[in-house]
Amino acid sequence: MDHAPSPPTPIAALRRPALLVRAARIASRDYSRPRDLARILQAEPPAGSGPAASLLAEKEAALDRLRRDGRGGYQPSAHVAVLAALIAEAAAELR
């Protein structure tokens, strides 16, 4: 029986520099939702991983636009933190 491949999740569809993704994957190992999510979102975090992942994806997209545009406000460390949280929340959603 043949199964059609699942549609890509938003995180699987991201195209980012390898160094950024590698740093985020390493950082995601140390991610602690209670400690990190409110700080990264700068707001009270939502209850579930799905809504959190959506908010993080929006924030990550904004950071990526800054990176691509070469604007002065881009902070690589913030981008790594958001992408790490997105990776961790997406993984938690799959569990």
Which one, of 18, 61, 66, 60, lies nearest residue 40 by Cα? Answer: 60
DSSP state at residue 8: P
So what's the pLDDT on residue 71?
78
pLDDT for 1 beyond 60: no
User: Residue 95: is its pLDDT beyond 80?
Assistant: no
Judged against a pLDDT cut of 60, whether residue 5 lies above it is answered with: no
Torsion on CA atoms 30, 90, 21, 45, rounded to nearest 10 = -60
Does residue 91 or residue 4 have the better pLDDT? 91
Calpha distance 56→64 (Å, rounded): 12
pLDDT digits (tens, 9 = 90+) for 74-90: 999 999 999 999 999 99
- What confidence tier does 94 reach under pLDDT thresholds 50, 70, 90? confident
- For residues 40, 46, 47, 48, the Cα torsion angle rounded to the nearest 10 degrees is -80
Spatial CB neighbours of 25, under 8 Å, sequence gap ≥ 6? 84, 87
At 43, list the tokens. Answer: 């707001």
What's the pLDDT at 17? Answer: 95
pLDDT in tens, 33-51: 999 999 999 999 999 999 9
Count of residues in the chain: 95
